[in-house]
A and B are shown apart, each in its own frame.
Chain A
Amino acid sequence: MAKPNLLNSFLVLTQLVIVAGTILLIYHAFGESWKKSIAPVPMATSSGPVEEDPERVENGIHMETGLVYAEGFDLVRANCLACHSSKLILQNRASRAGWQQMIDWMQATQGLWDLGDKEPKIVDYLAEYYAPKEIGRRANLDLNAVEWYILDLEN
């Protein structure tokens, strides 16, 4: 008899902890979302914690999207990020012709709309900030990305 009682007590205790934790969570989160919902749309401000501002620009990079904040950014955001992640732009590099081909392909096969006179501006932006780098037939290992560690071996 002792064991089931102990188990029951444990379960009750666990549930209490979960319920209490959930209440705390909800309280915390409502506070957060309330703050967010009343906050004005933030543009470069001098007051308030900077981390709260998803629209902030640091070192020329728009932090929410990771894209270069320069002429053409708004067009790219409105027309490209409507369908896909900015990651797809960030990880690619291409010449003006290369970016143009990608747009043509998206229009032909992926349902991208006619960009009209915005198209050359978008291509200008992409070709300017996401141009190819010359790396030869095989790049060195990216030693900046290597995390060195001591490997413990038996011998």
Chain B
Amino acid sequence: MAKKQKRGLHEWYANDPIEADQQLWGRESHASTRRGFLKTSAKIAMGLVLGAPMVYAEHFPAGMIPAALAHDDRPFALPGKHPDLIVLNDRPINAETPPHLLDDALTPADVFFVRNNGIPPELTQIDLQQWTLSIGGESVRQPKTYSLAELKSKFTTHTYQLTLECGGNGRKEFNPPAKGNQWSVGAVGCAAWTGVRLRDVLQDAGIKADAQYIGYYGRDTHLSGDPNKVPISRGVPMTKALEDESLIAWAMNGKDLPWLNGYPLRLVFGGWPASCSGKWLTRIDVRNRVHDGQKMGGQSYRVPCKPVAPGAKVPDEEMCIIESMPVKSLITYPRSGATIRSGQQLPIRGHAWGGDLAVQAVEYSIDFGASWQPCELSAPANRLAWQHFKARIAFPQPGYYEVWARATDSEGRMQPMLLPGWNPKGYLNNACHRIAVKVG
């Protein structure tokens, strides 16, 4: 994505300093005095970005850029997030990770992408002692409510590496264009999630024989500010809900969940559209039908049940819910734009994932798919974890090259080099990733 599309801190503040305060820090300003009232959450958020707690924060005037950041022309960092994340939307917050920042085996919390449908609960409103998770719905035997402490003590704790990818990752490339956040390639990450099995909790409450689906509810609020509106309430069929790796998680990479990724509690269903994995989790309903919460119906997170021509209008009743994500890979090293000397070999590496399936092979091509060479591929740390690939590339002569990577899942399906099936909302683009390289 072009740099000019990123939004710098200065631009943000120049536009509307009071609004920038509210959006970025949760700071509310008194209209007549322009004195910012810094809530605890805003102080924490500012401190995270400044790298130190802010002294005399209550005197800090509204709409002002902290001096430590004022000379920084880099795009602005979301609270707790790396400054180089690409912010696609600030209301609600949506930000993706440039591929070269996804090079770690496990995605660090500060670069993990953010896809919010509503407004996260303020940090000051999150009281760990008071936070509860309720299990209800028409197909639960005994509705129950657990505190965080009860969840942690009553059930066995598990940690799994699980890949989460936004269903709309890659939407930017569809033609005709699809509406929504124009994700490029970086709405994906794989972290080590720690929590309890959803299955253990559901079985503690008791699952009736007619149970079909679970649906979640969280504490995020609707963009309109209407407290009666739910921003998003999705879920998964019971078969997915009851898998070993389906977690109610409170930690990412051994630490509390990042605020923007669902602190203090969320669901994690590896390999399925990340919207299934509800954040700021407070309630799970066991349903005797397909869950009918916000963004389960209509065209949301659905693709045509049968293939359609690009640009086709598809009625709602012919749209089917996305389940497992398709096989995909990403080159995370080197960053696109590398120039090397003639005769040098280029090391490349990255990750590959296959939804519910494992990846059996990753290959690369430097001649636009005319020939493919194998990459070395690691086994997944556990089911639904992404796998790592690497290779060394020798180039035949100086010039401009593109390195393309292509993964194959355990059932033999490969990533396409062109865009896969067009669909109205632009989901499931798993076309090959490629980087530009110059030799000599």
Contact = CB atoms under 8 A, between A and B. Distances in A.
Interface of A: 15, 18-19, 21-22, 24-26, 28-30, 32-33, 36-37, 51, 54, 64-65, 83-85, 87-88, 91-95, 98, 101-102, 105, 109-111, 132, 134-139, 141-151, 153, 155
Instruction: Please report whether the interface of chain B is mostly helix, strand, loop or mixed according to DSSP.
Output: loop
Given A91-B88, A92-B179, A146-B436, A141 B402 contact: yes
A145 B66 CA distance: 30
B418 interface: yes
B67 A145 contact: no
A84 B346 CA distance: 44
Contacts of A21: 67
A29 B64 contact: yes
Interface in B1-42: 1-3, 5, 7, 14-17, 34
A148 B438 contact: yes
A141 B14 contact: no
B34 A102 contact: no
A88 to B, nearest CB: 6
A88 B363 CA distance: 36
A83 B60 CA distance: 28
Given A33-B62, A102-B179, A148 B339 contact: yes
Contacts of A26: 59-61
A139 B240 CA distance: 36
Interface stretch (B144-152, B200-208, B222-230): B222-230
Contact of B89 (A87, A95, A136, A138): A87
Contact of A33 (B64, B172, B340): B64
A22 B55 contact: yes
Given A91-B88, A145-B2, A33 B176 contact: no
20 contacts: A25-B67, A26-B60, A33-B34, A64-B14, A64-B15, A83-B91, A85-B89, A88-B89, A93-B177, A98-B179, A132-B176, A138-B173, A138-B431, A139-B173, A144-B2, A148-B339, A148-B438, A149-B335, A153-B340, A153-B347
A93 B87 CA distance: 18
A132 B175 contact: yes
Interface string B308-348: 00000000000000000000000000111111110011110
A151 B223 CA distance: 44
Nearest to B424: A101
A94 B177 contact: yes
B168 to A, nearest CB: 12
B298 interface: yes
Interface residues of B, number: 61
B61 A29 contact: yes
A137 B63 contact: no
Given A84-B89, A150-B339, A151-B346, 10 more contacts: A93-B177, A101-B179, A138-B417, A141-B436, A143-B436, A149-B337, A150-B340, A153-B345, A153-B346, A153-B347
A88 B181 contact: yes
B434 interface: yes
B277 interface: no
A121 B1 CA distance: 31
B339 A91 contact: no
Contact of A146 (B90, B336, B431): B336
A147 B399 CA distance: 17
A85 B64 contact: no
B182 interface: yes
A54 B64 contact: no
B61 A85 contact: no
Contacts of B56: 19, 22
Contacts of B340: 150-151, 153
Contacts of A134: 175
Nearest to A152: B340
B101 interface: no
Leading 8 A-B pairs by shortest Cβ distance: A151-B338, A91-B182, A29-B64, A145-B2, A29-B61, A93-B177, A146-B337, A111-B224
A96 to B, nearest CB: 13
Interface string B296-312: 00110000000000000
Nearest to B180: A92
A26 B63 CA distance: 12
B175 A18 contact: no
Nearest to A82: B224
B438 to A, nearest CB: 7
Contacts of B34: 33, 37
Contact of A92 (B61, B182, B224): B182
A84 B91 contact: yes
B439 to A, nearest CB: 10
B395 to A, nearest CB: 12
A125 B419 CA distance: 30
Contacts of B345: 153, 155
A151 B339 contact: yes
A135 B346 contact: no
A137 B310 CA distance: 10
B90 A137 contact: no
Interface string B337-362: 11111001111000000000000000
Given A88-B181, A146-B337, A137 B418 contact: yes
Contacts of B180: 92
